[in-house]
Amino acid sequence: MMTHWAAISTVARRELAAYFESPVAYVFLVIFLLLAGFFTFTFGGFFERGEASLAAFFNWLPWLFLFLVPAAGMRLWSEERRLGTIELLLTMPVAAWQAILGKFLASWLFLVIALALTFPIVVTANWLGDPDNGVIASGYVGAALLAGTYLAISCMTSALTRNQVIAFILAVVLCLLLILVGFSPLTDLLARWASPWLVEAVTKFSVLVHYDGFQKGVLDLRDLLYFLSVMAFTLLATGVVIRNHRAG
């Protein structure tokens, strides 16, 4: 008798292997690390800041992830639909939610591996100065949660279509929306005519607001709940999409 976890982990292991069996994983990792380095040291002004912190890295991450996470997640379900393997997968003794969770966790783990590979930036900061490593750790937790949230959204858009490009674009648009509602140049614009409570209510939906808490080293349960509930909601939506697709 397969337990829930055995089913989830079998799906997850195949999915993770699929990343590394094709060149996709390596291309993704190289591009991510190159861009992360470029943004941190060139655009982010890592050396010019005069402080030992990873702010230069973390500030750019929501924008970098905006394109890279949907790229990593777009194939999750659209590829299953294109190949027809969705029929194979869902007629094996596994519940749809186990398959959804398994695939999601595998991709998330992949993104966390990518994040972990940015350790040279941490080493550099520690070598040059004396950063607050607690803040850095909480920054990474926030980054992992942000990646998971974008990924869950990509998972949902990927279930909608057999075309990966469409899945990618839809995911970028939705993630961008979640950034923009808290992006200060835009919320300042909104604040000119809307009442303050409206601005505040809209801002609460933004990933940036909740992400910033972690970057300041503040571990707030509400921020954690925000990320987890967006993930839970979009993964449930993925389940609904897949069920409707099968029901015809």
**Beta carbon of residue 69, minimum distance to other proteins (angstroms, whole number):** 21
Asked if 225 touches other proteins (CB under 8 A), the answer is no
Closer to other proteins by Cβ: residue 1 or 221: 1
Asked if 17 touches other proteins (CB under 8 A), the answer is yes
Asked if 240 touches other proteins (CB under 8 A), the answer is no
Closer to other proteins by Cβ: residue 29 or 122: 29
- What is the largest distance, in Å, between two alpha-carbon atoms of the chain? 61
What count of other Cβ atoms lies within 10 Å of the Cβ of residue 248? 4
What is the DSSP secondary structure assignment for residue 102, as one 8-state letter? Answer: H
Asked if 165 touches other proteins (CB under 8 A), the answer is no
Six token digits for residue 232: 């839970």
Among the listed residues 51, 87, 200, 220, the single contact to other proteins using CB under 8 A: 87
Closer to other proteins by Cβ: residue 13 or 204: 13
List Cβ neighbours of 217 (8 Å cut-off, separation of 6 or more). Answer: 132, 134, 135, 138, 139
Asked if 232 touches other proteins (CB under 8 A), the answer is no
> Number of C-alpha atoms within 13 angstroms, CB side, residue 13?
6
**Beta carbon of residue 247, minimum distance to other proteins (angstroms, whole number):** 6
Residue 14, phi then psi, degrees to nearest 5: -65, -40
Six token digits for residue 237: 């939506």
Among the listed residues 95, 116, 201, 225, the single contact to other proteins using CB under 8 A: 95
Among the listed residues 39, 69, 74, 85, the single contact to other proteins using CB under 8 A: 85
Closer to other proteins by Cβ: residue 184 or 244: 244
Asked if 27 touches other proteins (CB under 8 A), the answer is no
Length of the chain: 248
Distance CA 5, CA 134 (A): 32
Asked if 244 touches other proteins (CB under 8 A), the answer is no
Closer to other proteins by Cβ: residue 88 or 190: 88
CA 89 to chain centre: 25
Six token digits for residue 105: 């966790």
**Beta carbon of residue 43, minimum distance to other proteins (angstroms, whole number):** 35
Asked if 88 touches other proteins (CB under 8 A), the answer is yes
Asked if 201 touches other proteins (CB under 8 A), the answer is no
Closer to other proteins by Cβ: residue 230 or 242: 242
Six token digits for residue 109: 């783990």
3-class DSSP state for residue 233? helix
Angle at 79 between CA 232 and CA 239, to 5 degrees: 25
Asked if 42 touches other proteins (CB under 8 A), the answer is no
What count of other Cβ atoms lies within 10 Å of the Cβ of residue 47? 12
- Interface ranges with other proteins (CB under 8 A): 1-2, 6-7, 10-11, 13-14, 17-18, 21-22, 83-85, 87-88, 90-95, 246-248
